[in-house]
Chain A
Amino acid sequence: MTLPALGWQGLVVLATFGISLLIATYCTYAERVIAAFLQDRVGPDRAGPFGLLQPLADAVKLFTKEEFFPAGANRALFVFGPSLAMVTALMSSAVIPFGNFLQFGDTVIHLQGIEINVGMLYVFGMVSLGVYGIMIGGWASNNKFSLLGAIRAASQNISYELAMGLALIAVLMMSGTLSLREITLQQSVAGEWHYWNIVKQPLGFVIFIVCAFAETNRTPFDLPECETELIGGYHTEYSSMKMGLYLFAEYINVFVASAVMSVLYFGGFNFPFQYELRDWFVSSRGLELVTAQNIITILGLVGLFAKIFGFIFFFMWVRWTLPRFRYDQLMRLGWTILIPLAIFNILLTGGLITFGVIK
């Protein structure tokens, strides 16, 4: 890879970073508007047209709040907790392929932060690191409720990561690679009738999405926060922007989880009839193949974001519909239902691959 190419890749990384932050910012707004609509209310509509400047107002509020340190708190860890949660959340979006590639002359820009052949493992690693942010923050607060929330977060994430990983293995058995780009490209091969993975892995997808809800600490699995029992859970003692970082990290995690689900099960940046459309551009519109491919890439980018926003909406829709699970119900669901189901799914996938039904 030449230096200019690296420079372009750096720009893509920066763009990914910016988009993650922007989406997280507007998730706070979307969450409130969707919550309001689902509950027959109006929602924020004062700051700017349709309240679109509300996130800005929230940011100003958060930045100007008092930086509070509880008595007996470990100050270094108290700051480190939210920072870690935010850093890991932001890092996990680096490997997601947002689009295929753009070609200008000799430069080829892959719309992906970094392409590594263990992309999915990297996301998993980052997500598991993220729970340390919650753990450390909860521990450093020197507060019973924070600690309880942190412990819940840790045990919940460990329990559901197992089922999530097992659901993922079924996908990997079909794809034979951990690279997210490869998995995406395999879901749409030119000239063949192809299916997204959701068709081949419906059970795996259900398990994965349930676990994604648990991993991102969203309702109905938001026991770490659990305002009715634990005040605010791990961020009880947090104020100002440190609190904001935790909330942001949650929304970035939702974004990344949505992106991963779109890539793994919903074809990533592929959309139906893309090759036919590309050929149509070339044959009927007289465009060059490169230009046609660039247009398809842009459309694919838009398509992937549509899928991601769909999932984010689903996350919020579920949050304002379902009540929270009880802790024992959560554990029973994770260990006695989801993990056996995921193992069954692996066996089923293996059998189907062996007998050549799917590949």
Chain B
Amino acid sequence: MESLSKRAKVLEKKPMTLAERAYLPAIFQGLSITMQHFFRAATKKQVTIRYPEETRPFSPVFRGLHVLKRDEAGRERCTACGLCAVACPAEAITMVAGERKKGEEGLYREEKYAVSYEINMLRCIFCGLCEEACPKAAVYLQADKMAPPRFERDEFIYGKDRLVEPVTPDNRSKRGIQLTPEQADKLRAQLT
């Protein structure tokens, strides 16, 4: 049968030579190769990552677990506009908006805020479109954290208790712009 691609090589199976039949030359060749690897293991840096002590570094553009940012005064940035939920191709984000009452100015940045904000991590595809859609620089995908495995499905629905970053500045996520929207606007104007 003629080969269709005309690239097939016909290999001739030659009878083995005496050296090949004696096995020993080939065996010594193989032994020398493995010995090189043996000494390479002793001298060269090993590629193995000893997991619990060492971890593989994340890529700087890695998109992991979401975080709801606070501003520099510790107020929640999210204003529950719903643009992230609209942008989400997996429809993983749901939220309930509420009006800020008097006396809550220290808690919420805008007059409207998210009473509940939930992301289903089983639906989420970590595309980062919510991050791009957010006009208030509130939602970010952290570059150093993954959604950890859980035993139950409902445990994957992350509410505000697990999404909003802590009040203490030291524990805040490194990811995300720490600018106020006004500062961001100014920056954008400068750039364009």
Contacts and interface: CB of A to CB of B under 8 A. Distances in A.
Given A40-B46, A40-B47, A42-B46, A322 B35 contact: no
B172 interface: no
Contacts of B30: 321-322
Interface stretch (B37-45, B117-125, B162-170): B37-45
Contacts of A38: 34-35, 37-38, 41
Interface in A206-231: 206
Contact of A317 (B35, B42, B47): B35
A36 B31 contact: no
Contact of B34 (A42, A45, A317): A317
B31 A317 contact: yes
Contact of A318 (B31, B38, B42, B50): B31
B48 interface: yes
A273 interface: no
Contacts of B50: 42, 45
Interface of B: 23-24, 27, 30-31, 33-35, 37-38, 40-42, 46-48, 50
A107 interface: no
Contacts of B42: 37
A41 B31 contact: no
Contact of B38 (A37, A42, A333): A37
A320 interface: yes
A320 B46 contact: no
26 contacts: A34-B38, A36-B41, A37-B37, A37-B42, A38-B34, A38-B37, A39-B37, A40-B40, A40-B41, A40-B46, A40-B47, A41-B46, A42-B46, A42-B48, A42-B50, A45-B50, A206-B24, A317-B34, A317-B35, A317-B38, A318-B31, A320-B34, A321-B30, A321-B31, A321-B33, A333-B23
Contacts of A39: 37
A322 B192 CA distance: 66
Interface in A13-56: 34, 36-42, 45
Contacts of A318: 27, 31
Contacts of B24: 206
Interface in A275-322: 317-318, 320-322
Contacts of A36: 41
Contacts, number: 40
A67 to B, nearest CB: 33
Contacts of B37: 37-40
Interface residues of A, number: 16
Contacts of A40: 37, 40-41, 46-47
Query: Sorted from nearest, which 10 A-B pairs have the closest CB atoms?
Result: A37-B41, A321-B34, A42-B48, A38-B34, A321-B30, A37-B38, A38-B38, A321-B31, A38-B37, A40-B37
Contacts of B31: 317-318, 321
Contacts of A321: 27, 30-31, 33-34
A185 to B, nearest CB: 32
Given A40-B40, A321-B27, 15 more contacts: A37-B37, A37-B38, A38-B41, A39-B37, A40-B41, A40-B47, A42-B50, A206-B24, A318-B27, A320-B34, A321-B30, A321-B33, A321-B34, A322-B27, A322-B30
A317 B30 CA distance: 10
A317 B33 CA distance: 11
B27 to A, nearest CB: 6
A169 to B, nearest CB: 22
Contacts of A41: 41, 46, 48
A309 to B, nearest CB: 15
> Which one of A41, A206, A318, A321 has the highest number of Cβ atoms from chain B below 10 Å of its Cβ?
A321
